[in-house]
């Protein structure tokens, strides 16, 4: 816990000036709170016994001092409430930027086992609670410590006997707080998990809402959501039980302090050890003393909320990307597009079966290679090793004679274009989605890329042309239109290596013909790997590789493989 707290406190470093200013005004506000009862004591204990002219004269000065204290307290609280919150928001901003940047570095293997909704919960809900803690935490501690310490010193000066009566309750109160604190922390952490699960469920449902409605499964989804919601409610009830016990218990202890002072004060006044004015002043200071105790009670709840959120933040930040640039990694430049697999084996996780076994393959620069085979044979996996979305388990993959693990990941992927079956388009305009291929491209280049992809004509028929909003994931476009935008994006990128991952398998015949023409135009003079579902689309491939669970079963041209009457010939006639 100590190392986690140190790590949390390190986020204050860029804002130490604002932090100390916030602490200064928090201390100033606490000093004002401590001063006011002293003024009351002076009036009740000394001033009332003076002559009327003296009282009237001094009360003017006292009123001016009190108004000045009110003004100081007002500005102090404004500074804390305004600039203190801004500091907390800036810390949240930095942490959100940090976790988002970290998530961009994590490889496909991380996302294979994660739910988007849960990750979103860590970036949003968890960080909001951290902000509240980072802002209010230090100032609440400073305010409380100053008030408690100052009140304690002044109370001792007023009456050691009454102080003893008041502080005799404190050890029991702190023991109670310590015991409940541990249980609250566990409960609040469980809350975080349940909130993340619900977010994941909502994200999953809303992303697939068309599937839900097409199967008329709204009730099924409602029941699934109810299970998660019930779990969340149960966890909330558990945390509120401990929170209620914590707050009510400490509230009772603070009231007991006042009861002890009143009872003890009455006895001490009767015996002549304490003056009535001292008891009145003491009771005023008991309020100053118990108010920060209540603040600390509230802070404990806030701390548990924020700290458990920070723990979950650290869980993500501590995950090391399994795909990282080597210290001696170099840039990939002047790429020809020569690709070679040397004795490559791959499995997704330890303890699982290998997807690829001892694959040896040479793809000369500029060649057009097709990969076919049954589902699960490793076609997509083989292609994912080239841009290093995954690292080989054994062997090595080389681009232009360089091991991809010795190349900078960014420069490697800048030279590879991928067109997938499941096209992902971002919410925004047609123009913005094509521009994603090369963000610094000119408008003329974007339009030229769209023309090359046979997309310009349909784009111009849209209501806003290139500025048409295409909706979430391009929902307003047909499958063929989305695929042509993704091809235009790759045209704009203009990479020397291309990977087509079953890019036409989900299209109708007419759309497939248009997209196929675009793909073949794009493939000219580039190293091209095509993962083919429809074998009719790869008749012109220079070499076709037939993959199975045992590796590369057959290689050859379309005619050569048909003549062999092997696996490829069976697949072809099956279609």
pLDDT, tens digit, for every residue of 287-327?
A: 767 777 777 766 776 787 788 788 888 888 888 888 888 88
What rounded mean pLDDT belongs to the chain? 81
Residue 506: the pLDDT is: 53
CATH of 424-494, picked from 3.40.50.300, 3.40.50.460, 3.40.50.720, 1.10.10.10, is: 3.40.50.300
Alpha helices, DSSP H only, in 80-214?
85-105, 108-111, 116-123, 125-158, 160-167, 170-207, 209-214
pTM: 0.73
Find the mean pLDDT for residues 505-522.
66
Query: Do the two domains 2-317 and 424-494 of this chain adopt the same fold?
Result: no
Rounded to an integer, the average pLDDT of 542-551 is 81
pLDDT confidence of residue 340? 92
Residue 273 host element (H or E):
none
Q: Are 412 and 467 in contact (CB under 8 A)?
A: no
Q: What is the mean pLDDT of residues 108-133?
A: 78
Output the six-digit token pair for 204.
């999953």
Task: Determine the pLDDT at residue 396.
Answer: 92
- The dotted CATH code for 333-415+498-505+523-575 is 3.40.50.300
Beta bridge partners of 362: 340
Whether the Cβ atoms of residue 83 and residue 22 lie closer than 8 Å to each other: yes
Rounded Cα–Cα distance for residues 456 and 465 (Å)? 9
Residue 507 has pLDDT above 60, yes or no: no
* Tens digit of each residue's pLDDT (9 = 90 or more) over 336-366: 889 999 998 888 877 677 788 888 889 898 8
pLDDT (tens digit per residue) in 207-224: 666 566 656 667 777 887
Question: Can you state the angle between helices 276-317 and 170-207, rounded to 10 degrees?
Answer: 40
Structure tokens at 370: 């097709």
% of the chain with per-residue pLDDT over 90: 4
According to DSSP, the residues that pair with 440 across neighbouring strands are none
Q: What topology does CATH give the domain 2-317? A: ABC transporter transmembrane region fold (1.20.1560)
Beta-carbon contacts of 455 under 8 Å, excluding residues fewer than 6 positions away, are: 481, 484, 485, 487, 488, 518
> What pLDDT is attached to residue 443?
92
pLDDT (0 to 100) of residue 559: 84
Any idea where the domains of the chain sit in the sequence? 2-317, 333-415+498-505+523-575, 424-494
CA distances from 92 to 26, 102, 572 (A): 21, 15, 57
Helix pair angle (85-105, 125-158), 10° resolution: 140
Q: What is the predicted pLDDT for the residue at 212? A: 67
Helix or strand (DSSP H, E) at 351: none
- pLDDT for position 323: 83
Rounded CA gap, 548 and 507, in Å? Answer: 25
pLDDT tens for each residue of 138-188: 877 887 788 778 777 877 877 788 888 877 887 888 788 777 777 777 777
Give 557-571 pLDDT, tens digit per residue: 888 878 888 777 787
Angle of CA points 348, 351, 354, to nearest 5°: 50
């Amino acid at each position: 816990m100590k190392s986690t707290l140190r790590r949390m406190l390190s986020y204050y470093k860029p804002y130490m000036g604002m932090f100390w200013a916030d602490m200064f005004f928090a201390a100033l506000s606490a000093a004002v709170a401590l001063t006011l009862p002293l003024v009351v004591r002076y009036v009740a204990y000394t001033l009332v016994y003076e002559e009327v002219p003296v009282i009237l004269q001094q009360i003017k000065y006292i009123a001016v001092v009190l108004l000045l204290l009110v003004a100081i307290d007002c500005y102090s609280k404004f500074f804390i409430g305004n600039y203190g919150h801004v500091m907390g928001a800036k810390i949240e901003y930095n942490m959100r930027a940090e976790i988002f940047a970290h998530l961009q570095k994590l490889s496909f293997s991380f996302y294979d086992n994660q739910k988007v909704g849960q990750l979103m919960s860590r970036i949003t809900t968890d960080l909001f609670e951290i902000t509240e803690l980072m802002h209010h935490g230090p100032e609440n501690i400073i305010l409380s410590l100053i008030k408690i310490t100052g009140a304690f010193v002044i109370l001792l000066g007023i009456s050691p006997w009454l102080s003893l009566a008041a502080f005799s309750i404190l050890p029991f109160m702190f023991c109670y707080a310590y015991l409940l604190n541990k249980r609250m922390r566990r409960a609040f952490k469980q809350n975080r998990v349940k909130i993340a699960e619900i977010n994941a469920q909502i994200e999953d449902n809303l992303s697939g809402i068309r599937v839900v409605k097409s199967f008329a499964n709204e009730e099924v989804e409602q029941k699934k959501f109810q299970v998660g919601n019930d779990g969340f409610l149960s966890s909330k009830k558990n945390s509120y039980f401990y929170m209620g016990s914590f707050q009510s218990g400490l509230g009772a202890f603070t009231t007991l302090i006042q009861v002890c002072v009143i009872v003890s004060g009455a006895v001490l006044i009767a015996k002549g050890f304490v003056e009535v004015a001292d008891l009145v002043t003491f009771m005023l200071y008991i309020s100053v003393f118990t108010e920060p105790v209540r603040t600390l009670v509230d802070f404990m709840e806030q701390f548990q909320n924020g700290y458990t959120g920070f723990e979950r933040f650290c869980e993500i930040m501590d995950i090391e990307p399994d795909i990282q640039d080597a210290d001696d990694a170099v840039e990939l430049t002047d790429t020809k597009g020569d690709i070679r697999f040397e004795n490559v084996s791959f499995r997704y996780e330890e303890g699982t079966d290998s997807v690829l076994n001892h694959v040896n393959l040479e793809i000369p620069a500029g060649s057009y290679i097709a990969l076919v085979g049954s589902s699960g044979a490793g076609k997509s996996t083989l292609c994912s090793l080239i841009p290093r979305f995954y690292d080989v388990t054994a062997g090595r993959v080389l681009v232009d004679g360089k091991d991809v693990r010795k190349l900078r990941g960014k420069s490697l992927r800048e030279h590879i274009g991928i067109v997938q079956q499941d096209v992902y388009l971002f919410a925004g305009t047609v123009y913005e989605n094509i521009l994603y291929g090369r963000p610094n491209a000119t408008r003329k280049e974007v339009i030229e890329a769209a023309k090359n992809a046979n997309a310009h004509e349909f784009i111009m028929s849209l209501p806003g042309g290139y500025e048409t909003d295409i909706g979430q994931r391009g929902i307003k476009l047909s499958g063929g239109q989305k695929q042509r935008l993704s091809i235009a994006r790759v045209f704009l990128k203009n990479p020397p290596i291309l990977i087509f991952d079953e890019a036409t398998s989900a299209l109708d015949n007419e759309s497939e013909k248009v997209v196929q023409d675009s793909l073949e135009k794009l493939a000219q003079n580039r190293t091209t790997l095509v993962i083919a579902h429809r074998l009719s689309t790869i008749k012109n491939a220079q070499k076709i590789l037939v993959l199975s669970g045992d590796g590369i079963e057959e290689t050859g041209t379309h005619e050569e493989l048909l003549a062999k009457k092997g696996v490829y010939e069976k697949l072809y006639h099956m279609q």
